[in-house]
Amino acid sequence: MQRITYRAKASARGAKRRISYILRPSKRLLNTESNIVPAIVSIKVTRFAKTKKLAQISSIALLSLPAESLTTMNTQVPAYDHVMLEETLTIAAVPGDSTYFATDGFQHGFGYDLARNYADELGVKVTLKAYADEEAALRALQSGDADMALTTASTQLKSQLNLSSINVSCGYDASLTKNGLHPKVSWTFNSANDPLSQKASYFLCDSIKLDNTQKLAAFYNQDLLKDAYSQDHFKATLTEKLPDYQSSFEEQARNYNHDWELLVAMGYQESHLDANAVSPTGVRGIMMLTNNTAKAMGVSDRVDPYQSIGGGARYLEQMKTDFADVPKTDRIWFALAAYNMGPNAVKGIQRKLSAKGIDDKSWANIYAYLSDNKASNSRYGQAMHYVSNIRSYLETIKTATV
């Protein structure tokens, strides 16, 4: 490839023209297959010349690129620069109980939630690419198809591929294992020297963030159905009782835009799918509706399975609407917490977090607040277990592991 050099220009206009030229491949390069440089060609450059963003992005690129990038187009753009230019963090991940789980049109999971929080701190979006195994995900990272990988791959495999990784627990593996999570779930990068990797290390190992990571691990606890009694009870209930109500769950889920298996998980949490269940406080039926909630949802007979499921589905949809400003990935957890303790209680927590400058639309932050204050308010502890249990039941139903 012909070596291209540039004359240094002192003016801002010259600097803009120079960085635009660096980022835009020439027609000759685009037409010569052997000379294409994927890391440069893949960057989508829009009309920066007349925007304020040009100055910001140009400064980032000029300061971050190695000096030789100004004289050759063979140097790979650092992952951090690519992420900031594209405003997207692309993650190669392997599905698992410690990484991410997808259902009901949204993605969640311990490792994935941490990665979303990191992307939020960078001010970028997240794109997740799923791979069947650890090596495939790491090779996607190595080839430039992703900016980072979320896996539980062995240290040996990552070393063989010459990749750098950070354990998301920052060395506090016991906080993961006690919650049934994989102790070596990690974020992997092409280089330890890339700012994307360095900033990730600071993010994960910050004392406050580390404390919240441990609380998030508790929410994603995988041990709920690990003992034989719980497994047998759950399996027996789904086998013996669910067939009688499945059509009602499916129909009411369609009526109110839910995943029907989410409603089943709620029904198991509420009553173990017992249509005649009654609590000491007077809530009744499969979805354990209060008398007031039943009336508000148009339910005349709380022990009628179809009506009870419909009332619960309608109320859950109302809770989702109440938290429509929360990103979809977290919205269902907000809605479930509100279903359990009331929407005003959740909104009150949001106001307290917002007053402290904390993101009040992140479930991780809401859960951390519940955890920190459960000793002084029993409702907080109940809401924590309620949402976490339903998440666990849903994942178990989806993966048919019981």
Whether 270 sits among the annotated catalytic residues: the reply is yes
Distances from the Cα of 98 to the Cα of 181, 221, 224, angstroms: 5, 9, 14
Task: Tell me: do 381 and 276 sit in the same domain.
Answer: yes
Q: Residues of the chain whose pLDDT is less than 50?
A: 1-74
Answer with the one of 75, 96, 128 that is the final residue of a domain: 75
Residue numbers of the domain that contains 17: 12-75
Dihedral over Cα of 186, 188, 191, 193: its sign: negative
Task: CATH number of the domain at 135, please.
Answer: 3.40.190.10
In a domain, 384, yes or no: yes
Task: Tell me: do 391 and 292 sit in the same domain.
Answer: yes
CA 11 to chain CA centroid, nearest Å: 43
Task: Tell me: do 127 and 143 sit in the same domain.
Answer: yes
Rounded Cα gap, residues 266 and 256, in angstroms = 15
Task: Tell me: do 291 and 152 sit in the same domain.
Answer: no
Exposed/middle/buried for 160, CB within 10 Å: 0-12, 13-18, 19+? exposed
Q: What percent of the chain has pLDDT over 90?
A: 75
pLDDT given at position 52 = 44
Task: Tell me: do 198 and 238 sit in the same domain.
Answer: no
Give me the amino acid identity at 184. Answer: K
In a domain, 7, yes or no: no
pLDDT given at position 402 = 59
Task: Tell me: do 171 and 256 sit in the same domain.
Answer: no
In a domain, 274, yes or no: yes
Task: Tell me: do 171 and 59 sit in the same domain.
Answer: no
- Residue found under tokens 């120079």: 18
Please tell me the total count of domains within the chain.
Answer: 3
In a domain, 337, yes or no: yes
With H, G, I as helix, E, B as strand and everything else as coil, classify residue 268: helix
Task: Tell me: do 348 and 275 sit in the same domain.
Answer: yes
- Report which of 326, 339, 328, 351 is spatially closest to residue 379, judged by C-alpha positions: 339
Question: pLDDT, tens digit, for every residue of 147-195?
Answer: 999 999 999 999 999 999 999 999 999 999 999 999 999 999 999 999 9
Catalytic option among 134, 270, 317, 395 = 270
- Report which of 152, 231, 221 is spatially closest to residue 388, judged by C-alpha positions: 221
Task: CATH number of the domain at 362, please.
Answer: 1.10.530.10
pLDDT given at position 401 = 64
Token code pair at residue 372: 């920190």
In a domain, 256, yes or no: yes
Task: Tell me: do 360 and 252 sit in the same domain.
Answer: yes
Rounded Cα gap, residues 161 and 144, in angstroms = 13
pLDDT given at position 64 = 41
In a domain, 4, yes or no: no
In a domain, 6, yes or no: no
Distances from the Cα of 336 to the Cα of 183, 184, 256, 398, angstroms: 28, 30, 15, 18
Answer with the one of 180, 198, 219 that is the final residue of a domain: 219
pLDDT given at position 399 = 83
With H, G, I as helix, E, B as strand and everything else as coil, classify residue 23: helix
Task: Tell me: do 155 and 175 sit in the same domain.
Answer: yes
Answer with the one of 219, 254, 269 that is the final residue of a domain: 219
In a domain, 5, yes or no: no
Task: Tell me: do 288 and 347 sit in the same domain.
Answer: yes
Task: Tell me: do 106 and 191 sit in the same domain.
Answer: yes
With H, G, I as helix, E, B as strand and everything else as coil, classify residue 84: helix
